[in-house]
Amino acid sequence: MGAESGKLGLGLPLNQSKKIKIKPLTKASLVIRTTLIVLILMSFYGFLTFDYKDISLFDGIGATLLNLKVMFFEPHFSHFTFGEAFYQVMITLGLAVLTTLFGAIIALILGLFAAQNLSSRGVSNTIKGFVAFIRAVPTVLWVLIFAVAAGLGSVAAVIGMTFHSVGYLIKAYSESFEELDEGVIEALKGSGANWWQIVTQAVLPSSISYLVSWTFLRFEINFGVAIAMGAAAGAGGIGFDMFMASAFYLDLREVGVITYFILTIAILLEITASKIRTNLKVGI
């Protein structure tokens, strides 16, 4: 009984039980908490003081819920058929595939030179600085910039999306390459292997699962961007049909069926990407 009474419920001796440490309120945590509280209060104040004209806040919430009910529980085709919608989805997927493919090829080459363990520090910093500038500019702005030269349409969308994909993938690829053990590279150099042999025999085989994961992640992003560019840049596809249904025809039911199309494709892409990543891990 004495031994049992000296133990806690978790089976640990009383003198070995872990003490709960309370972190003191630091200046940084105080600033973060104060900022969050101020933002929450400002949000409530904004909702209460907005000029809603003749519509009350609760009436607006009710109308929004009604619109969502019509959109998602009463979807139907009005201005195009199922076959036409499927064809437009394939166009959007084609835009995503093209931009991801072009971006991955360019990023793979530049990513090797951006990795510090495979290139000089000057070259690596130059490439990383350039792609940091590319990533800082949103994709839609790159599309509009290239639209000045190529005009609004699928060409400007592909170039702009590819440009941003290159900046995104170079960072991802180069960081994957830099995780390779330096001892492996030094051993290959000591055995007389040149730069290309090091890349093909050590770097790429050890990083292939990361490369595929990052590429599929970017593909999913490009699919969503292609939908937006279909409306914003006139690139066509299902995004343009959604824009017409919502802004031109004002048909919420058609917007709902288009949304279901997009959600279905997005779920299928995620399932495919997960299976490919799992197979790569098993193979390795």
CATH of the domain at 223: 1.10.3720.10
CA distances from 147 to 102, 156, 167, 243 (A): 18, 5, 19, 19
More confident residue, 283 or 142: 142
Q: Give the dihedral sign, CA 175/181/182/188.
A: negative
> Is residue 89 in a domain?
yes
Place of tokens 């990795």: 115
Say what the pTM is. Answer: 0.74
> Is residue 12 in a domain?
no
| Mean pLDDT value across residues 146-159 | 79
How large a percentage of the chain has pLDDT more than 70? 88
More confident residue, 275 or 123: 123
Mean pLDDT taken over the chain: 82
CA 3 – CA 60 distance, rounded (Å): 66
Whole-number pLDDT of residue 19:
58
For the chain, give the longest Cα–Cα distance: 86
| Mean pLDDT value across residues 202-211 | 86
| Mean pLDDT value across residues 32-50 | 88
Q: What is the extent of the structural domain holding 260?
A: 82-283
Whether pLDDT at 6 is above 50 = no
Whole-number pLDDT of residue 119:
85
Whether pLDDT at 5 is above 90 = no
Q: 18 falls in which pLDDT band (50, 70, 90)?
A: low
Whole-number pLDDT of residue 20:
60
- Of 223, 121, 219, which is closest to residue 174 (Cα–Cα)? 121
> Is residue 28 in a domain?
no
- Of 147, 173, 170, which is closest to residue 159 (Cα–Cα)? 147
Whole-number pLDDT of residue 9:
47
Whole-number pLDDT of residue 8:
45
> Is residue 202 in a domain?
yes
> Is residue 66 in a domain?
no
Whether pLDDT at 104 is above 90 = yes
How many domains is the chain partitioned into structurally?
1
Show the DSSP H helices in 151-203 as ranges.
Answer: 154-178, 182-190, 195-198
Q: Which pLDDT tens digit goes with each residue over 221-256?
A: 899 888 888 877 677 788 888 888 888 888 888 888
SS3 state at 209? helix
> Is residue 164 in a domain?
yes
- Of 49, 74, 80, 228, which is closest to residue 140 (Cα–Cα)? 228
Whole-number pLDDT of residue 13:
52
Whole-number pLDDT of residue 15:
52
> Is residue 217 in a domain?
yes
> Is residue 46 in a domain?
no
Whole-number pLDDT of residue 237:
83
Q: 24 falls in which pLDDT band (50, 70, 90)?
A: low
Whole-number pLDDT of residue 17:
52
Helix axes 139-150, 154-178, angle to 10 degrees: 140
How large a percentage of the chain has pLDDT more than 90? 14
Whole-number pLDDT of residue 184:
80
